[in-house]
Amino acid sequence: MLRFVTGNEGKVEEAREYLPMAVEQTDYDYVEVQSDDLAPIAARGARESFRELGGTEPVAVEDSGLFVDALGGFPGPYSAYAEYTLGIERVYRLVEPEDDHRASFRSVVAYAADADSLDEDVTDDDPDWHDGVTVEDGVAVATFEGTVRGEIVTPRGDGGFGYDPIFEHEGRTMAERSTAEKNAISHRGRALAKLADWLAAQE
Ligand code: IMP
C-alpha cells in the first residue's frame, strides 16, 4: 500500500492508473520549504510525511506548477499562491504580446520508503530510473519529474482546473480536453510513469 499525501482526490485517482499497488489518499499538512525548484519541496514533504505517518508504509507527495519561460519560470513553485492572489488571467497578462509564450507544466513525485525495503541497484544514482535518491536515517526518498511543454494563451475551455485554460499543448488548451486525454499527456502522468517503472524494477 502507498499513502498519497494530498487533499486532491483527482491526483490519487491519476496515481491509481499508473501504480501497481493500492493507493490511499492521506491528508497530512507537511511543511512546504521555500525553493525555486519543485524537487526539494516534494522530497522534504515526503520525508516528513513518512516519519510523521508512522515510518512504515511508503509515502508519495506530489508538487506541481506552471513555469513560464519569459518570466524566468514564474510562477513555478509559487503557482498555487499566484493562482489565488492574482488569478490565472493576470498571470497570463504578465506575458507581453511580443514575449516568447512558451511554458511548461512540471510535476515532481517524491516517494519515501524504508531504505532496507529497496533494491540497492535501484537506489543507485542512475538517471534512467529517477531524478535523484537521498538516504538519511534509513529512509530513502526518490524523486521523479514529468514535464509537458506548451504555450500560454488567453483562457479557453471549461474542463480541468487551475491553469488548464491558459496552457495550450498541440493546438488545444488542457481545459479543452477530457480528463482521460489530459491524463494521457500530463506532467503528473509522466512523473507517475517513471515511478511505476522504478517500482517495477524492484520486483
Ligand atoms: P499543487 O501542486 O496541487 O499544490 O498545485 C500547484 C499549482 O499548480 C496550483 O495552482 C494548481 O492549480 C496548479 N496545477 C497543478 N497541476 C495542474 C494541472 O494539471 N493543471 C492546471 N494547473 C495545475
Q: How far apart are CA 41 and CA 34, in angstroms?
A: 7
**Catalytic site positions:** 63
Dihedrals phi, psi of 141, to nearest 5 degrees: -125, 120
DSSP bridge partners of 140: 113, 135
Q: Residues with beta carbon inside 6 Å of ligand 1?
A: 8, 63-65, 79-80, 83, 105, 160-164, 174, 186
Confidence tier at 82 by pLDDT (50, 70, 90): very high
Question: Measuring from atom 8 of ligand 1, which residue has the nearest CA?
Answer: 65
Fold designation for 2-200: Maf protein (3.90.950)
Question: Measuring from atom 5 of ligand 1, which residue has the nearest CA?
Answer: 64
pTM (predicted TM-score): 0.93
Confidence tier at 124 by pLDDT (50, 70, 90): low
Confidence tier at 203 by pLDDT (50, 70, 90): low
Q: Is 200 helix (H, G, I), strand (E, B) or coil?
A: helix
In the predicted model, what is the mean pLDDT of residues 104-127? Answer: 84
Instruction: Give residue 179's pLDDT.
Output: 87
Domain spans of the chain? Answer: 2-200
Q: Which of 13, 163, 181 to mutate to test the pocket of ligand 1 (most atoms within 8 A of CB)?
A: 163
The ligand 1 atom at the shortest distance from the C-alpha of residue 83 is 10
Instruction: Give residue 48's pLDDT.
Output: 97
Can you read off the three cell numbers belonging to residue 166? 491558459
In the predicted model, what is the mean pLDDT of residues 87-93? Answer: 97
Instruction: Give residue 133's pLDDT.
Output: 86
Given a cut of 70, is residue 127 above it in pLDDT? no
